[in-house]
């Protein structure tokens, strides 16, 4: 199958269902730490605390510490109900003890995945501490997040933070501000408010409206998904949502249960409140992958909005009062929605993330015509050595300015070769 991988299309399994997790309390018979607190707290009784974050491929990466670990990189994901360690070697180094195994189901077309549960940990984000936290450790690094993103990624977390605090994500200044719910007052500076409903640990909104070619505007129920890099994901199996006239077949990324296949196209207009976004890139996963991400119990839920959409706003989520506030970032709100124009799927080497390799090339794409093939090592791009670039930055370069000349030195079988091509839109 032809594959089109842009890291901005990477779909994390933000819908992760851990069976029997509601029985975890029974395992607290394990030796108890001398801590009276449970759950997440801002140390010192402060009303708020700000945490710097980085964005890679539209995903929010936050520095955390688990017990006495070194600093770890975790993705902030609104849809994750537990703390997940996706890199098993981290758990090995910490010597975690386990109380049971659980089956994990998420997006993808394979079988379920086994994971182990460890209890009674401290999870720290600067001066915010989560006490007596359960941690779910994947049996293998099935997501390969570090290779997709080009930086070390050790885990995913989210819901525990959002359910305990009012969280503002400032994509302009790369700062997340966490505020105590008690005493918080909404101000106009936070932007416009839109109702949300939190169901099974996931925030949903009915505020999104889409206009498909020639059809009237309609409202869709969407998950607010900070754990996905895409702009928009829609279920084309749902009767009222149609595939765009022009789509490309794509590998949309990986979920816990394997590869996620589907189509990518453009939606002419996506609106929320008074804001309109035009020619939005949308992912349409195959029915099986969609059903794993949004199970049959999720009635009338038609997709999700991800990082490429959310990064255009300053986002505030208040679960306790049931709303999301959006304040547009002027320099971003009208930026065009771009997609890979090279045909190259590039990833980092697992044990040396500074080395980048082509893992797939679309037949007939600019990269393919230029001679690039799977397993080629990318060494220079436009006179810059790749160790001076980020993988996310490379994908941005390959997704903007149709007709731009790209110059690449690549290594194959020890031989360094130079080639060029011009970017060309596929959709």
Please identify which residue in the block is written with the tokens 């080639």.
419
CATH classification of 344-422 is 3.30.70.890, yes or no?
A: no
Question: What per-residue confidence (pLDDT) applies to 25?
Answer: 41
Reply yes or no on whether the pLDDT at 28 is more than 60: no
pLDDT band at 213 (very low <50, low <70, confident <90, very high): confident
Instruction: Tell which wins on pLDDT, 36 or 23.
Output: 36
Question: What per-residue confidence (pLDDT) applies to 14?
Answer: 39
d(CA 388, CA 154): 23
pLDDT band at 32 (very low <50, low <70, confident <90, very high): very low
Reply yes or no on whether the pLDDT at 7 is more than 90: no
Say what the pTM is: 0.89
d(CA 75, CA 84): 10
Parse the chain into domains and list their residue ranges: 7-179, 344-422
pLDDT band at 168 (very low <50, low <70, confident <90, very high): very high
Question: What per-residue confidence (pLDDT) applies to 293?
Answer: 52
168 forms beta bridges with 177, 316
pLDDT tens digits for range 236-255: 776 678 889 999 988 887 77
pLDDT band at 215 (very low <50, low <70, confident <90, very high): confident
Mean of the pLDDT values across residues 61-69? 97
Question: What per-residue confidence (pLDDT) applies to 241?
Answer: 83
Instruction: Tell which wins on pLDDT, 171 or 28.
Output: 171
The region of weakest confidence among 30-44, 110-124, 227-241 is 30-44
- Backbone dihedral angles phi then psi of residue 125, each to the nearest 5 degrees: -120, 90
pLDDT band at 299 (very low <50, low <70, confident <90, very high): low
Please identify which residue in the block is written with the tokens 């980085």.
54
3 state SS of 205: strand
Let me know if the fold of 7-179 is the same as that of 344-422: no
3 state SS of 214: coil
Percent of the chain, pLDDT > 70?
86
Mean of the pLDDT values across residues 36-49? 89
Question: What per-residue confidence (pLDDT) applies to 111?
Answer: 64
Question: What per-residue confidence (pLDDT) applies to 180?
Answer: 97
Reply yes or no on whether the pLDDT at 23 is more than 60: no
d(CA 215, CA 232): 18
d(CA 246, CA 262): 13
pLDDT tens digits for range 339-382: 999 999 999 999 999 999 999 999 999 999 999 999 999 999 99
Reply yes or no on whether the pLDDT at 227 is more than 60: yes
> What is the CATH number that goes with domain 7-179?
2.40.70.10
Question: What per-residue confidence (pLDDT) applies to 35?
Answer: 47
Question: What per-residue confidence (pLDDT) applies to 109?
Answer: 54
pLDDT band at 107 (very low <50, low <70, confident <90, very high): low
Q: Which two tokens stand for residue 327?
A: 């304040």
Q: What is the largest CA-CA distance in the chain?
A: 64
146 forms beta bridges with none
H or E element in which residue 211 lies: strand 202-211
d(CA 257, CA 200): 20
The region of weakest confidence among 13-22, 69-78, 188-197, 313-322 is 13-22
Non-local (6+) Cβ contacts of 240 within 8 A are 218
**Mean pLDDT of the residues in the chain:** 88
3 state SS of 196: coil
Reply yes or no on whether the pLDDT at 397 is more than 50: yes
- Backbone dihedral angles phi then psi of residue 233, each to the nearest 5 degrees: -125, 130
Reply yes or no on whether the pLDDT at 117 is more than 60: yes
Whether 308 contacts 59, CB under 8 Å: no
């Amino acid at each position: 199958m032809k594959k089109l991988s842009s890291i901005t299309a990477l779909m994390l399994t933000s819908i992760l269902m851990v069976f029997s997790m509601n029985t975890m309390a029974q395992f607290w018979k394990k030796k108890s730490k001398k801590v009276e607190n449970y759950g997440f707290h801002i140390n010192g009784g402060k009303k708020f605390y700000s945490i710097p974050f980085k964005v890679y491929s539209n995903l929010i990466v936050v520095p955390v510490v688990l017990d006495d670990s070194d600093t770890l990189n975790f993705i902030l994901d609104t849809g994750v109900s537990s703390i997940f360690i996706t890199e098993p070697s981290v758990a090995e180094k910490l010597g975690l003890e386990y109380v049971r195994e659980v089956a994990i189901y998420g997006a993808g077309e394979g079988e379920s995945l086994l994971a182990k549960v460890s209890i009674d940990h401290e999870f720290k984000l600067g001066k915010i501490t989560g006490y007596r936290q359960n941690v779910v450790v994947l049996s293998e690094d099935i997501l390969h997040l570090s290779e997709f993103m080009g930086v070390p990624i050790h885990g995913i977390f989210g819901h525990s933070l959002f359910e305990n605090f009012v969280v503002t994500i400032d994509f302009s200044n790369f700062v997340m501000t966490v505020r105590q719910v008690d005493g918080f007052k909404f101000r106009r500076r936070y932007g416009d408010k839109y109702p949300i409903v939190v169901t099974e640990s996931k925030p949903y909104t009915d505020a999104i409206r889409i206009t498909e070619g020639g059809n009237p505007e309609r409202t869709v129920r969407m998950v607010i998904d900070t754990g996905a890099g895409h702009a928009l994901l829609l279920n084309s199996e749902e009767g009222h949502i149609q595939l765009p006239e022009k789509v490309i077949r794509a590998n949309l990324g990986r979920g816990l249960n394997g590869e996620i296949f589907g189509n990518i196209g453009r939606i002419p207009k996506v609106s929320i409140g008074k804001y309109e976004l035009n020619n939005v890139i949308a992912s349409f996963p195959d029915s099986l992958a969609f059903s794993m991400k949004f199970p049959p119990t999720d009635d009338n839920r038609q997709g999700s909005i991800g990082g490429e959409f959310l990064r255009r706003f300053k986002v505030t989520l208040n679960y306790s009062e049931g709303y999301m506030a959006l304040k547009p970032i002027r320099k971003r709100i009208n930026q065009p929605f771009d997609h890979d124009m090279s045909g190259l799927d590039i990833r980092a080497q697992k044990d040396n993330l500074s080395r980048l390799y082509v893992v797939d090339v679309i037949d007939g794409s600019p990269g393919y015509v230029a001679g690039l093939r799977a397993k080629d090592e990318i060494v220079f791009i436009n006179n810059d050595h790749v160790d001076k670039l980020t993988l996310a930055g490379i994908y941005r370069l390959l997704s903007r300015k149709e007709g731009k000349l790209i110059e690449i030195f690549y290594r194959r079988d020890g031989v360094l070769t130079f080639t060029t091509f011009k970017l060309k839109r596929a959709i």
